[in-house]
Amino acid sequence: MKFFVDTADVKEIRELNDIGLLDGVTTNPSLILKSGRDIFEVTKEICAIVSGPVSAEVTAMDYDGMMREAAVLAKIADNICIKLPLTFDGLKACKALTSAGHKTNVTLCFSAVQALLAAKAGATFISPFIGRLDDTGLDGMELIGEIRQIYDNYGFATEILAASIRTINHVKQAALIGADVATVPPATLKALVKHPLTDKGLEQFTADWAKTGQKIG
């Protein structure tokens, strides 16, 4: 499974990338707002840090507007992935942009048939929102499984990018089901390394080593 980080915080992106954990980055208008920075400035900086795809989202709701904005965003860097809404105009733009050689990420997916349409339109990534489905009392992981089966049934190349991830268990379940990518908030990605038994074991080793009175180096 590939890991993308869902943030526009350059400090967090740089730290995780230096560890070697990142395969890409996803942003959206809300994350740009949270960063407090100019969209072009911060997106260009992110693209220079990571070598993988960086999703930058259009804000227009009509096809012509999406295509105009996509042309501007694509000029930021070679690794820009154009993020588009799952609407008919968004799918039309997805088809045109993919055909022109651009990577595309179709976002705000909440059903398997929506994901099927995105794959038919040639999307590079489909972003089903797990956490938001869970918030409504539905099972976000069930959607990941349905999309995986449909894509496998017909050999679609579109990658399942599990989004709106809230917990460590979301990451684990998405990996077990077969999502290609998980886009994860920085805090959740860092929390994946933690386990109480790991901490307990390290405490014991440290205490025992101190008792030996030895040093390494």
Q: What residues act catalytically?
A: 83
SS3 content of the chain, % helix, strand, coil (to 5): 55, 20, 30
Q: Which amino acid is at 139?
A: D
Residue with tokens 């920075």: 37
Residue with tokens 């992110």: 46
Residue with tokens 């100019």: 38
Q: Can you tell me whether residue 213 is helix, strand or coil? A: coil
Instruction: Mention every residue, 6+ apart, whose C-beta is less than 8 A from residue 162.
Output: 127, 128, 130, 144, 170, 171, 174, 179, 181, 182, 183
Tokens (6 digits) for 37: 């920075």
Q: Can you tell me whether residue 84 is helix, strand or coil? A: strand
Q: Can you tell me whether residue 22 is helix, strand or coil? A: coil
Residue with tokens 């109480």: 196
